[in-house]
Copies of this chain bind each other. A is one copy, B any other.
Amino acid sequence: MELTPDWVVGFVDGEGCFFVGINQHKEMTTGYQVLPEFTVVQHERDISVLYALKRFFGCGVVRRNHADRYAYRVRNLKCIEKVIAFFERHKLKTKKRVDFLKFRKVCLMMKEGKHLDKEGLLRIIEIALKMNTADRPKLLEIKKKITRG
A residues neighboring B (CB under 8 Å) = 1, 3-15, 42-43, 45-46, 49, 52, 93-95
State how many copies of this chain the complex holds.
2
Chain B: which residue is nearest A7 at the CB level?
Answer: B10
Contacting pair A93 B14 (CB below 8 A): no
Q: Which of B52, B93, B95 contacts A3 (CB 8 A)?
A: B93
List B contacts of A3 (CB < 8 A): 93
Q: How far is the CA of A79 from the CA of B100 in the complex (A)?
A: 34
A93/B1 contact (C-beta < 8 A), A11-B11, A13-B14 known: yes
Chain B: which residue is nearest A45 at the CB level?
Answer: B95
Q: Which of B43, B45, B94 contacts A42 (CB 8 A)?
A: B94
Given A1-B93, A3-B93, A11-B11, 12 more A-B residue pairs with CB atoms under 8 Å apart are: A4-B6, A5-B6, A6-B7, A10-B11, A11-B13, A11-B14, A13-B14, A13-B49, A43-B95, A45-B95, A46-B95, A49-B94
Q: How far is the CA of A144 from the CA of B91 in the complex (A)?
A: 50
Contacting pair A49 B93 (CB below 8 A): yes
A6/B1 contact (C-beta < 8 A), A49-B94, A94-B49, A95-B45 known: no
27 A-B pairs whose Cβ atoms sit less than 8 Å apart in the complex: A1-B93, A3-B93, A4-B6, A6-B6, A6-B7, A6-B10, A7-B7, A7-B10, A8-B10, A9-B10, A10-B10, A10-B11, A10-B12, A11-B11, A11-B13, A11-B93, A13-B14, A13-B49, A14-B14, A42-B94, A43-B95, A45-B95, A46-B94, A46-B95, A49-B93, A49-B94, A52-B93
